[in-house]
């Protein structure tokens, strides 16, 4: 756990946040500043700063996160209409929180 990481603090329970999903590897919760009607963050429990920091041994984690996004899209009623998955990487890539996370965006037509 990175002490100054807001996602690590959420995962540890230091910042109360209702989870939409949680298991031993990942958690999912609504974004506090949603860009779309459905804006869910899927976050690994283990602190990984960014996609750039991942090694080949962690490839299954990204697959697990994508499959969870698929399930949550169905749960939220947006699977059939469509949705977007986004991983921002680094400051110039739009990554605000330095902890790997996947955005599930939907609920309206995206451009």
Residue 15's pLDDT band, with cuts at 50, 70 and 90, is very high
Domain chopping of the chain, boundaries: 6-106
User: CA-CA-CA-CA torsion for 105, 30, 21, 106, nearest 10 degrees?
Assistant: -20
Would you state the CATH architecture of domain 6-106?
2-Layer Sandwich (3.30)
In sequence order, the β-bridge partners of residue 26 are 44
Residues identified as active-site: 101
pTM confidence score: 0.95
Mapping DSSP to helix (H, G, I), strand (E, B) and coil, where does residue 91 land? helix
Q: Give the pLDDT score at 26.
A: 98
């Amino acid at each position: 756990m990175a002490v100054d990481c807001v996602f690590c603090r959420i995962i540890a329970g230091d910042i109360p946040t209702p989870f939409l999903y949680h298991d031993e590897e990942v958690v999912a919760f609504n974004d506090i500043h949603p860009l779309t009607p459905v804006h869910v963050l899927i976050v690994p429990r283990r602190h990984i700063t960014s996609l750039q920091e991942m090694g080949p041994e962690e490839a299954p984690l990204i697959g697990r996160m994508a499959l969870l996004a698929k399930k949550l899209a169905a749960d939220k009623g947006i699977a059939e209409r469509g949705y977007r998955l986004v991983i921002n990487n680094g400051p110039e890539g739009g990554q605000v929180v330095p902890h790997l996370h996947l955005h599930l965006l939907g609920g309206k037509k995206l451009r």
